[in-house]
Chain A
Amino acid sequence: MEVTFKIFRYNPEKDERGNYVTYKIDAHPNDRVLDVLEHIKGKEDGSLSFRRSCAHGICGSDAMRINGRNMLACKTLIRDVGDHITVEPLLGLKVAKDLIVDMEPFFENYRKMLPYLINDSPLPEDGKERLQSPEQRARFDETTKCILCAACTTACPSFWANDEYYGPAALMTAHRFIFDSRDEGAEARLEILSETNGAVRCHTAYNCTEACPRGIHITQAIGELKLAMVTGNID
Chain B
Amino acid sequence: MSHLKSRKLSLAKRGLSFEMFMWAFTRVTALAMYGFILLGVIGALIMGAQHHLTFVEVLRWALITNPGHVESTNLPEIAPWVSSFWRLIASGMLLTAGSHGVHGVIVILDDYLPKDNQRNWNRYLNMGIFALVALAGLYIIWTA
A115-144 with Cβ < 8 A to chain B: 121, 124, 130-133, 136
Q: Are B107 and A203 in contact (CB under 8 A)?
A: yes
Q: Are B9 and A161 in contact (CB under 8 A)?
A: no
User: B51 an interface residue at 8 Å Cβ cutoff?
Assistant: no
Looking at the assembled complex, report how far the CB atom of B115 sits from the nearest CB atom of chain A, in whole angstroms: 10
Q: Are B17 and A195 in contact (CB under 8 A)?
A: yes
Looking at the assembled complex, report how far the CB atom of A117 sits from the nearest CB atom of chain B, in whole angstroms: 13
Number of interface residues of A (CB under 8 A): 34
> Chain B at the A interface: mostly helix, strand, loop or mixed?
helix
Of the listed stretches B19-27, B76-84, B136-144, name the one at the interface; the rest are far from the partner chain: B19-27
Q: Are B3 and A132 in contact (CB under 8 A)?
A: yes
Interface residues on B, range: 20 to 34
Looking at the assembled complex, report how far the CB atom of B133 sits from the nearest CB atom of chain A, in whole angstroms: 24
Looking at the assembled complex, report how far the CB atom of B134 sits from the nearest CB atom of chain A, in whole angstroms: 24
Looking at the assembled complex, report how far the CB atom of A35 sits from the nearest CB atom of chain B, in whole angstroms: 38
> Chain A at the B interface: mostly helix, strand, loop or mixed?
loop
User: B119 an interface residue at 8 Å Cβ cutoff?
Assistant: yes
CA distance A4 to B16 in the complex (A): 54
| B2, B8, B20, B112: the one within 8 Å of A229 (CB) | B20
Q: In the complex, what residues of B have CB within 8 A of residue A194's CB?
A: 14-17, 19-20
B4-39 with Cβ < 8 A to chain A: 6-11, 13-17, 19-20, 22-24
Q: Are B3 and A190 in contact (CB under 8 A)?
A: no
Q: Are B13 and A200 in contact (CB under 8 A)?
A: no
CA distance A121 to B3 in the complex (A): 13
User: Closest residue to B24 on the A side, CB-wise?
Assistant: A230
Q: Are B8 and A234 in contact (CB under 8 A)?
A: yes
Q: Are B111 and A187 in contact (CB under 8 A)?
A: no
Total A-B contacts with CB atoms under 8 angstroms apart: 81
User: B114 an interface residue at 8 Å Cβ cutoff?
Assistant: yes
Looking at the assembled complex, report how far the CB atom of B116 sits from the nearest CB atom of chain A, in whole angstroms: 8
User: B108 an interface residue at 8 Å Cβ cutoff?
Assistant: yes
Q: Are B16 and A161 in contact (CB under 8 A)?
A: no
CA distance A170 to B111 in the complex (A): 17
User: A158 an interface residue at 8 Å Cβ cutoff?
Assistant: yes
User: B1 an interface residue at 8 Å Cβ cutoff?
Assistant: yes
User: Closest residue to A183 on the B side, CB-wise?
Assistant: B7
Looking at the assembled complex, report how far the CB atom of A178 sits from the nearest CB atom of chain B, in whole angstroms: 9
Looking at the assembled complex, report how far the CB atom of B75 sits from the nearest CB atom of chain A, in whole angstroms: 40
Looking at the assembled complex, report how far the CB atom of B69 sits from the nearest CB atom of chain A, in whole angstroms: 37
Please give 6 more A-B residue pairs, beta carbons under 8 A apart, in addition to A187-B9, A230-B20, A235-B7: A132-B3, A133-B3, A161-B112, A187-B14, A194-B19, A203-B111
**Which of B's residues lie within 8 Å of A, judged by CB?**
1-3, 6-11, 13-17, 19-20, 22-24, 107-108, 110-112, 114, 119
**Which of A's residues lie within 8 Å of B, judged by CB?**
121, 124, 130-133, 136, 157-158, 161-162, 164-165, 181-182, 186-187, 190-191, 194-196, 198, 200-201, 203, 226, 229-235
